[in-house]
Structure 1
Amino acid sequence: MSGRDAGNGVTARDAAAVPPRVLTVAGSDSGGGAGIQADLKTMLALGTHGMSVITAVTAQNSLGVQGAWPLPVEAVRAQYRSVVDDIGVQAVKTGMLASAELVEAVADLLADSRAPVVVDPVGVSKHGDALLAASALESVRTKLLPVATVATPNLDEVTQLTGVRARSERDFRRAAEAVLAFGPRWVVIKGGHLAGDAGEAVDLLTDGSQEHWLRAPRYGNRHTHGTGCTLASAIAARLAKGDPVPRAVTAAKEYVTGAIAAGFSLGAGIGPVDHGWALGRGSGAQAATGPASGED
């Protein structure tokens, strides 16, 4: 990884004014609630400079995904090199990678990075639309997860990747062990999809030795599109600012909880979370309903 700094034509004063730089490698959501759009909004809200490598274009709205078109591997590589070789990055987040070829190309690029990497192993959309080819699962397991500083699967993605089905909090440790076996340094098992628990949204962060149970109230706000992207991007933003992993994930959980609480109706289906809530620009839902959680 390289980038211009105070020794390459930028003064120390200029360098001090540059916010931490975070790169998202993910698909575009034309409805603006998830994907690249959610990532960049989150990064801005948390005081970092967001940059993007677009891996796929989707036709997507509050009702679902109407179409998805992966970009050529060459285009993804060129975007990555363009950003990293000139500007440099202090954290990377991956999202929708669509195909085995893209997964492997991105994993190869990240293998040479010294920046922390947050892997959101996106498999399906909020509406149940497939965003990762079944043929790509093995590449995620053997190529992408080993380069992850933090992996953030939801319960469905845990099952998809490992075969482990977590039906209660008692299963979270087993789920975490199964994901960690593929090589990420840390894993967040996201419990937002846990059935039968109406009171709390519970996540487990662990590296196999340390455990951090993260809890937040769960409310009935259905406008939760983009929660997984938002959480992973928030973790990456906090890592870019120098937080250790437990502090970064805890802060990201707090941010996404507030964003869910302020989620708003958009279109005829599931609306997005409000990425700007922490900037004092919330839709008013937070004040009306209180904190909420349930990230996917």
Structure 2
Amino acid sequence: MVDFAYVIAGSEATGGAGIQTDLKTFHELSVFGLGTITCIVSFDPKADWGHRFAPVEPGVIADQMEAATAAYDLDVVKIGMLGTPKTIDVVADGLGKQSWRHVVLDPVLICKGQEPGAALDTDQALRDKILPHASVVTPNLFEATVLSGMESIETEGDLIEAAKRIGELGPRYVLAKGGVELPGDEAVDVFFDGDDVTVLRAPKIGTERVSGAGCTLAAALTAELAKGRPALDAARRAKVFTSAAITGRVGGHLPFEAVWQGIARG
């Protein structure tokens, strides 16, 4: 029996994040992955690797979603970078056309390469139209701060409070990612199921952010949910997988390194 996982997200041209990372993660976890591209991000090597952002036309996004959902019986989907209110509208409409066992929202709240006003409009649209569909939300430290309405998250206790506040917004589960930015020797993530809090810990691997780590954690969680695992078990497995991918990170000419999911095979 084949398990399917679907992702709706942006393409990141260097392969270190976005839908490329999601599909690699699905593959390594023995899940058949397919995806809808919402936008294209191309780092500019001529301008300090700044973001170049190009949205996909809403009609093209709708066509991709129609094809994907007609081709297979899909019931688990990860939502990554959407990028514009028009994109959010068409994705929300597509999500509403069927029932989903899990919608995993990895909430990209700030789209680099956009004007500040446009970014804020996108953030609000994401809250209003995509968050209500989500059964699981996987914010990083910045996103957890924004969604929770807290001034800052500086401790494990703060991250727990943020996860609880985000849970009040409607998702069944919250996996708040502390990453390397939360002080301490451990990479701490907080899982909240509406009643209980579980803190997931692993030794920090380096002190710098690695491109695609957050995408990988959310995608691995999605893959494990697609296999039918309970949410907490899926989160634990996703963290182990992501830690391995960070350990196997690769470097090139970019000013940052990227996770490598293939290292987990060993």
* TM-score normalised according to structure 2 size: 0.91
Q: CA deviation at 1:204?
A: 0.5
Of 22, 29, 32, the match for 1:46: 29
Structure 2: gaps of 5 or more residues? none
Question: Cα gap change, 1:207/1:83 in structure 2, threshold over 3 Å: closer, same or farther?
Answer: same
Shift of 1:81: 1.0
**In the alignment, structure 1 residue 106 sits paired with structure 2 residue 91:** yes
Distance across 2 between alignment mates of 1:231 and 1:276:
14
Are 1:238 and 2:224 matched, yes or no? yes
Q: Which runs of 5+ in 1 are unaligned?
A: 1-15, 281-296
Alignment map for 1:40-189 (pairs within 5 Å): 40-60=23-43, 64-111=49-96, 112-124=98-110, 133-164=119-150, 165-189=152-176
Whether contact under 8 Å (1:93, 1:233) holds in the other structure is: yes
User: CA separation in 2, counterparts of 1:61 and 1:226?
Assistant: 18
Q: Is the 8 A contact 2:52 2:113 kept in 1?
A: no
Q: Conserved in 2, the CA contact under 8 Å of 1:23 and 1:50?
A: yes
CA contact (8 A) 1:155 1:193 kept: no
User: What's the counterpart of residue 292 of structure 1?
Assistant: none
SS in 1 for 2:179: coil
Instruction: Output the amino acid matched with 2:175.
Output: V
Cα offset for 1:42?
0.4
In the alignment, does 2:33 pair up with 1:33?
no
User: Which residue number corresponds to residue 204 of structure 1?
Assistant: 190
Which deviates more from structure 2 when the two are superposed, residues 80-89 or residues 44-53? 80-89
Deviation at residue 89 of structure 1 after TM alignment = 1.6
The number of residues matched between the two structures is 260
Looking at structure 2, the residues matched to 60 and 74 of structure 1 have their Cα atoms a distance apart, in angstroms, of 25
Distance in 1 separating the partners of 2:209 and 2:203: 16
Cα distance in 1, alignment partners of residues 209 and 179 from structure 2: 13
Structure 1 position 130, deviation (Å): 5.8
Q: Which amino acid aligns with 1:184?
A: P
Note the alpha carbon deviations across 1:179-231, whole angstroms, 9 max, x for none.
Answer: 1222111111111153432x101011002202211000002164711011111
Structure 1 position 110, deviation (Å): 1.9
Paired residues of 2:18 and 2:212 also in contact (CA < 8 A): yes
Q: Distance in 2 between matches of 1:108 and 1:218?
A: 40
Distance (Å, rounded) in 2 between the aligned partners of 1:167 and 1:233 = 26
Give identity over the alignment, percent. Answer: 36
- Greater C-alpha radius of gyration: 1
One-letter amino acid matched to 1:117: V
Q: Counterpart of 1:66 in 2: which secondary structure? A: strand
Alignment check: 8 A CA contact 1:100 1:139 kept: yes
- Say what the alpha-carbon RMSD is for the aligned residues: 2.1
> Could you say what secondary structure the match of 2:181 adopts?
coil
1:115-134 deviation per Cα after TM superposition (whole angstroms, max 9, x unaligned): 31110001347xx6669821
Question: SS in structure 2 opposite 1:28?
Answer: strand
Query: What do residues 46-89 of structure 1 show as CA deviations (whole Å, max 9, x unaligned)?
Result: 00111010000111278644311111111111101111012222
**CA-to-aligned-CA distance 1:235-257 (integer Å, 9 cap, x gap):** 11001111010011110011001
Which moved further from structure 2: 138-147 or 92-101?
138-147
Q: Is the 8 A contact 2:103 2:134 kept in 1?
A: yes
Question: Secondary structure of 1:22's partner?
Answer: strand
CA distance in 2, matches of 1:76, 1:177: 33
Change (3 A) 1:106 1:268: closer
**What SS does structure 1 have at the residue aligned with 2:41?**
strand
Q: Which amino acid aligns with 1:83?
A: A
Once the two structures are superposed, the pairs formed by residues 212-291 of structure 1 within 5 Å of their partners are 212-220=198-206, 222=208, 224-280=210-266
Residue type at the aligned position of 1:67: R
Q: Is the contact made by 2:49 and 2:254 (CA closer than 8 Å) also made in structure 1?
A: no
